Chains A and B, each alone.
Chain A
Amino acid sequence: MERLLKFIYEYRAFFTFLFLELTCIWLIVENNRFQSSTYFNSSNRMAANVLGFSQGVREYFSLRTINRDLAEENAILRTALEQRNQRIFADQVPEIKDPLMKNKFEFIDAKVFSNSTGFYKNYITVDKGKSDGIEPGMAAISSMGVVGKVKSVSDHFAVLISLLHTDEMVSCIVKQKDYFGTAQWDGSDMRFTSLRYIPRHANPSVGDTVLTSGYNSIFPTGVLVGVIHSANLSGEAPFWDIRVELAQDFSKLSFVELVKSNLKNERDSLERVTISEIR
């Protein structure tokens, strides 16, 4: 026993090294599991405040662009609202009675505190958290298009998995053709994402719009993802190789909207029951 202790003491540097590296590996593996609510990330209050301050300084220089984008979005929304009002007035569309169906999705706006685009796994920190009703698994969109998904929340902050994350998948549909596939980032260029699993017999063409399909109940149906930039079909491949130009410029992200899906639980439990019945 004494000799063992002596041995450990002699090589204490190596054992400390081994122990700490194993701790790190455990932390990395634990963190890679989706939608955990870990505390040690930038949703930590102090870290988020520091990042928020630096974002505040940076944002000061781009206020003009942000203002213009918001004004443009206002105009678009106003037009859409007016059109809808006109239609309701003209056609007497019956009003939806069920409050849950009426408010299928709730939108909570949040300010981006920190964002990155250069890694393979990029995360976004925002200034809304548990106390504002944010939960892991909620979708994040912006005025331009899809942004990502909530990974973990603290009381006042949340960390989102950016669409620029090699493990993040979003179910998509090609608007003009109605074929559906999955958008997954390949890790190279922040302006493009790849659209996978579009079958051989489909005929996507450059310029087609790609929207969220709404099949996974996280994202609302029809949120813009991007526009097809190139579509290739190599020899024997079962699927098209499609690059989509993202609608959202991730280097200029300042505000996001978090989408709370009020029917998600109901839908998920129904689907789970169906799947277990089939088995």
Chain B
Amino acid sequence: MIRSGLVHIVLFLVYVFVQAMLLKNLVLFNSAFCFLYVVFILSLPFEFSTTLTILVGFLLGFTIDIFYSSIGMHAFATVLMSYLRNHWLSVITPQGGYDTGNTPTIATNGIQWFLVYTIPLVFIHHFVLFFLEASGFDMFWFTMLKIMGSLLFTMIVIIFLQLLVPQRRKI
């Protein structure tokens, strides 16, 4: 338990640093962003309680906000996504349920399930984030373009990472 906690703290820092130092500078066509850090929330173990997930989400979003000088926005979007995560997980439970101690990854549940799990959540995160940032629906289609571009970019990076980094079955 302590070991898995340590692993999570290290992973948290890794995601924050990668986001702040690498991905913040990596913007395609000046409109597609990669918010890889959301995968930290998405790949928390199944048995994480909703309250704990929300708190971790707030902490993560807030830390990212500091680097983006956009206080509150990433935190808002990430908290919403964290809240919905566990509900969504229980909606899409595969036959036989989840194994305790496992994490929701491609390795444990297959790519099809993984896409159904991640795409809606990442979409909600990006949707809320970009419209908060635009503070309104004035430039609706341009903002939608940014959201879809970023969704595609983030998803591709998430899947590549999952396929490249060998997944441990249990932490």
Tell me how far the C-beta of A14 lies from the nearest C-beta in chain B, rounded to whole angstroms.
Answer: 8
Interface residues on B, range: 35 or more
> With A25-B76, A47-B66, A54-B22 known to touch, is A121 a contact of B49 (CB < 8 Å)?
no
Flag if A42 contacts B132 (CB, 8 Å): no
**9-residue interface stretch from A15-23, A93-101, A102-110, A131-139:** A15-23
B117 interface residue per 8 A CB criterion: no
Residues of B contacting A: mostly? helix
Q: How many residues on A have C-beta within 8 angstroms of the other chain's C-beta atoms?
A: 43
Flag if B133 contacts A121 (CB, 8 Å): yes
Q: How many A-B residue pairs have CB under 8 A?
A: 117
Tell me how far the C-beta of A29 lies from the nearest C-beta in chain B, rounded to whole angstroms.
Answer: 8
Tell me how far the C-beta of B15 lies from the nearest C-beta in chain A, rounded to whole angstroms.
Answer: 13
**Contact of B71 (CB < 8 Å), options: A27, A116, A119:** A27
Flag if A20 contacts B54 (CB, 8 Å): yes
Tell me how far the C-beta of B133 lies from the nearest C-beta in chain A, rounded to whole angstroms.
Answer: 6
For the complex, give the distance between the alpha carbons of A166 and B51 in Å: 36
Flag if B51 contacts A25 (CB, 8 Å): no
B30 interface residue per 8 A CB criterion: yes
Flag if B142 contacts A24 (CB, 8 Å): no
For the complex, give the distance between the alpha carbons of A54 and B67 in Å: 12
Flag if B139 contacts A13 (CB, 8 Å): no
User: Which residues does B use to contact A, with CB under 8 Å?
Assistant: 17, 20-22, 24-25, 27, 30-31, 33, 49-51, 54-55, 58, 61-62, 65-73, 75-76, 79-80, 83, 86, 132-135, 139, 142, 146
A-B pairs, top 3 by smallest CB distance, nearest first, are A27-B72, A13-B50, A28-B72
